[in-house]
Amino acid sequence: MPPMSRRRTLLASVLLGLAALPAWAYPDKPVTLVVPFPPGGSTDSIARTLAPKLQERLGGNFVVDNKPGATGTIGAGQVKRAPADGYTLLVASLGPYVIAPHLLKNVPYDATRDFDLLTVAVQAPNVLVVPAASPLKSVDELLARLRREPGKVSFASSGNGSSDHLTVELFWQKTGTSGVHVPYKGGAPAISDLLGGQVDASFQNINAVVQHIAAGKLRALAVTGDKRSALLPQVPTLSESGVKGADVYSWQAVAAPRGLPADVKAKLHAALVAALNDPVVRQDLTKQGFEIVANTPEQFTAFQAAEYARWKQVIDAGKITAD
């Protein structure tokens, strides 16, 4: 081979090697997991569980940054505007992905176009609960009261447009009943008034109320999953109780700004799946009531599309607003 050709071949090899460096080097600076809610909630807990495991698998430094506000859309908007380089990730519940876009005006992102969806990490059913002193012992008894006293039975939620709010709206729509929605500023005050008997019922995240059920302070009437919960095996599903089409899961998922390099996306997805399937992580999350999902980006995309359409229909039918 002539000297000039050898030099060109060598230069081409060097350039190809340099082009591959960013993927191999990732991450070579801190990776931020943006949680668009305050510290202490379920989504924050999932992010803080994942961060050290991602760090173990990929190296570098993974940090959680809470950016609450506007039902999660402020933090999600910040992620949308971040560089698509794998150093800013969104860890959020279903709200910013499939609910808030139908409730709020001027959401600072397009939930179906502005993110590279990585995986739905976990899901958990809601549970229909009443105070321990309530005379209601079953879904049938609750439905009978709703029909006997339309628009009078009160249901607490953590806020307008929350998963627990939309679950009760779906419940009313599927059963042809109505009650009174009582929104609170968060799940804690809603549960507090439920425990005190100030409200009649609520659909709460299972991990938020399972300890109160175990202590005999709340009575579980049904879970909203498509199967019974391992945490409450004696409690029937809504479907088993005669309410069809109201299967609901709360879920937390991970995404990145649209345009993530394919190799970085693959590394992140593999690390997330490995973290979620770590035996210690799996056991800890299962004890809290979460079910590991760890699906593929393609499965997440199809799932988001179905959830997006479903909650839009519920919100439109119920004429629900975030106000």
Give the C-alpha separation, 115 to 257, whole Å. 5
What is the pLDDT tens value at each position of the chain, 323 positions in all?
555 555 555 555 545 544 444 445 899 999 999 999 888 888 999 999 999 999 999 999 999 999 998 889 999 999 999 999 999 999 999 999 999 999 998 999 999 999 999 999 999 999 999 999 999 999 999 999 999 999 999 999 988 888 899 999 999 999 999 999 999 888 889 999 999 999 999 999 998 899 999 999 999 999 999 999 999 999 999 999 999 999 999 999 999 999 999 999 999 999 999 999 999 999 999 988 899 999 999 999 999 999 999 999 999 999 988 76
Give the C-alpha separation, 308 to 311, whole Å. 6
pLDDT, tens digit, 9 for 90 and up, residues 41-67: 889 999 999 999 999 999 999 999 999
Give the C-alpha separation, 279 to 35, whole Å. 24
Neighbours of 11 (CB within 10 A): 10
CB of 256 closer than 8 Å to CB of 90: yes
Q: Quick one: DSSP state of residue 52?
A: H
pLDDT, tens digit, 9 for 90 and up, residues 87-141: 999 999 999 999 999 999 899 999 999 999 999 999 999 999 999 999 999 999 9
CB of 67 closer than 8 Å to CB of 43: no
- Domains of the chain in start order, with CATH, are 29-123+249-318 (3.40.190.150), 125-223 (3.40.190.10)
CB of 172 closer than 8 Å to CB of 178: yes
Task: Identify the pLDDT of residue 2.
Answer: 57
Give the C-alpha separation, 47 to 30, whole Å. 15
Task: Identify the pLDDT of residue 38.
Answer: 86
On whether the pTM is more than 0.75, the answer is: yes
Neighbours of 121 (CB within 10 A): 26
Task: Identify the pLDDT of residue 5.
Answer: 57
Give the C-alpha separation, 2 to 9, whole Å. 11
Relative orientation angle of helices 42-58 and 279-287, to the nearest 10 degrees: 180
Chain centroid, CA 60 distance in Å: 26
